[in-house]
């Protein structure tokens, strides 16, 4: 039977309703690091926007397997039933199924029950939060023509009373209400929002909800495992859900305020959060890409030449574009400590690998964004913020793996080099200094 006839939608709403595959949701999910936990609340609110975890799953290889399966489900639009059929045999083979008593698998004493009910919660939670992060980016992009959000609580027999009380609330996109109450607002929450234009509100007889008409939902206290004081949980949400998952993720790309606390994540401010998602497999390159016995001038010429075909000359600099379309400024300043006239920072290792550095800019495995605080003058205090971009790649040269890291910062011309080098060990790429902040781009597995 056909459902009720919907009122006519405006053009922007039609475009939003029939959007392309959720690239933003995929990018959000792929950007997460890993954290093991015994209880979900050990990792609190915004931390879930940056770290993937499954409570009582302590073995990293299994955590990676679950994450990879969810990553594929998001990209392919897989149903819960199909995902379940794929992941359950893997979990059974590993022993993380039914009544699990192995502490190396669960991280805790005593039995842990694992079955379809737990997996349904894992699936729904990750699908909903990834979708919410992607939706928030689309909401922000469309707010000039559709500046309002309307809360939809479904209104059936399963709707929670607190969520029912929020149904029909209409507020501007940037109203503080959405910092807490943008769905999902709890475990298995099915609520959503619809983005509206002023024309749409008028046509439907809707009006912006006055602040004094917002439901008064009393907060409550919640004790997290191991906490010395309780958390204040906003009324109407489950513990750990009182935040906007999309805002928490995209706030990392916002310029830090001059007179307030910095956004997260920051290289200096974030705690290490365990291994990141494994990098794509190293790409094989020819041995002759490495330079032997090159001096500084020859190395710089080789670096520029490797990028020449992909760039264009603007005065004395070469401008190339990375996979995100961002301009990268290339000149010999790239290899100087502070800019023109300063000493070169090339050594024999850098000279040997300059062509791999160029390849890392054009075809990286990952690109990370992060804000970090640095000194305006050599040896001075950290007194300014610098938006950096880190290009990470791994290569296979004559049977050995070679990692490469290139660091850029924003200049008036675009992204210019800060440093570039091949780390001495592969483990360096798991440090916050290499892969910290927001994962902005990742090479496809078959790329």
**Whether 20 and 165 share a structural domain:** yes
In a domain, 261, yes or no: no
203 and 291 assigned to the same domain: no
Q: What per-residue confidence (pLDDT) applies to 171?
A: 96
Quick one: 417 and 309 in the same domain? yes
Shared domain check, 174 and 323 = no
Domains of the chain: total: 2
Q: Which of 236, 253, 270 is the last residue of a domain?
A: 253
Cis ω for the linkage preceding 427 (within 30 of 0): no
Cα dist. 357→124, 390, 423, 429 in Å?
A: 41, 12, 12, 15
Q: Is residue 6 scored above 70 in pLDDT?
A: no
Residue 120 lies in a domain: yes
pLDDT band at residue 264, thresholds of 50, 70 and 90?
very low
pLDDT at position 329 over 90: no
Residues 152 and 37 in one domain: yes
Q: Are residues 434 and 287 in the same domain?
A: yes
Q: Which of 8 and 351 is assigned the larger pLDDT?
A: 351
Of 98-112, 242-256, 392-406, least confident by mean pLDDT is: 242-256
Instruction: Categorize the per-residue pLDDT at 23 as very low, low, confident or very high, splitting at 50, 70 and 90.
Output: low
Please say if the pLDDT value at position 349 is more than 90. no
Query: In this structure, are 131 and 230 located in the same domain?
Result: yes
Expressed in angstroms, the distance from the first to the final Cα of the chain is 45
Answer yes or no: is 436 within a domain. Answer: yes
Judge contact between 129 and 245, C-beta under 8 A: yes
- Classify residue 266: in a domain, yes or no: no
Please write down the long-range contacts of 93-100, taking CB distance under 8 Å and 24 or more positions apart: 94/59, 94/62, 94/65, 96/57, 96/59, 96/62, 100/56
Structure confidence at residue 285 as a pLDDT band (50, 70, 90):
very high
Token digits of residue 267:
């290289």
Same domain, yes or no, for 183 and 100? yes
Q: Is residue 72 part of a domain?
A: yes
Same domain, 141 and 87: yes
Residue 39 confidence (pLDDT) above 90: no
* Confidence class for position 27, pLDDT limits 50, 70, 90: low
Q: Residue 30: inside a domain, yes or no?
A: yes
- How far apart, in whole angstroms, are the C-alpha atoms of residue 30 and residue 198? 35
Is it the case that residue 389 has pLDDT exceeding 50?
Answer: yes
Domain that holds residue 424: 283-442
Q: Give the separation between CA 43 and CA 57, rounded to whole angstroms.
A: 14
- If phi > 0 it is left, if psi is from -120 to 50 it is alpha, else beta; for residue 131 that is alpha
């Amino acid at each position: 039977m056909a459902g009720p006839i919907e009122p006519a939608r405006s053009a922007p709403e039609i475009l939003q309703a029939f959007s392309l595959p959720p690239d933003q949701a995929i990018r959000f999910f792929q950007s997460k690091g890993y954290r093991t936990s015994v209880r979900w609340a050990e990792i609190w609110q915004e931390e879930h926007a940056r770290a993937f975890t499954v409570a009582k799953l302590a073995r990293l290889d299994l955590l990676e397997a679950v994450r990879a399966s969810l990553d594929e489900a998001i990209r392919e639009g897989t149903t819960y039933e199909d995902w379940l059929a794929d992941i359950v045999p893997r979990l059974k083979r590993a022993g993380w199924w039914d009544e699990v008593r192995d502490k190396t698998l669960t991280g805790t004493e005593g039995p842990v029950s694992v079955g379809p009910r737990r997996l349904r919660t894992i699936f729904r939670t990750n699908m909903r939060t990834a979708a919410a992060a992607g939706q928030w980016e689309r909401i922000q992009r469309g707010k000039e023509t559709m500046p309002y959000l309307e809360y939809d609580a479904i209104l059936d027999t399963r709707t929670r009373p607190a969520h029912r009380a929020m149904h029909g609330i209409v507020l501007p996109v940037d109203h503080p209400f959405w910092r807490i109450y943008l769905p999902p607002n709890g475990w298995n929450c099915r609520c959503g929002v619809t983005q509206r234009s002023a024309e749409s509100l008028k046509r439907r007889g809707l009006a912006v909800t006055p602040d004094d008409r917002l439901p008064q939902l009393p907060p409550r206290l919640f004790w997290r495992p191991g906490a010395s004081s309780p958390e204040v949980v906003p009324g109407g949400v489950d513990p750990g859900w009182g935040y906007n998952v999309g805002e928490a993720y995209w706030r990392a790309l916002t310029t830090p305020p001059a007179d307030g606390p910095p956004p997260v994540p920051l290289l200096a401010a974030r705690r290490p959060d365990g291994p990141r998602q494994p990098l794509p497999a190293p790409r094989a390159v020819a041995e002759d890409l490495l330079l032997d016995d090159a001096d500084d001038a020859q190395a710089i010429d080789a670096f520029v030449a490797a990028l020449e075909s992909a760039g264009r000359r603007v005065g004395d600099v070469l401008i190339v574009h990375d996979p995100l379309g961002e301009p990268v400024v290339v000149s010999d300043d790239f290899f100087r400590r502070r800019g023109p006239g300063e000493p070169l920072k090339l050594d024999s290792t850098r000279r040997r690998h300059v062509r791999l550095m160029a390849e890392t800019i054009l075809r990286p495995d990952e690109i990370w964004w992060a804000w970090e605080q640095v000194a305006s003058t050599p040896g001075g205090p950290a007194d300014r913020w610098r938006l950096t971009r880190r290009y990470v790649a791994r290569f296979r040269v004559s049977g050995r793996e070679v990692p490469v890291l290139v660091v850029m910062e924003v200049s008036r011309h675009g992204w210019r080099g800060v440093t570039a080098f091949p780390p001495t060990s592969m483990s360096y790429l798991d440090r916050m200094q290499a892969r910290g902040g927001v994962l902005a781009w990742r090479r496809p597995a078959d790329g």
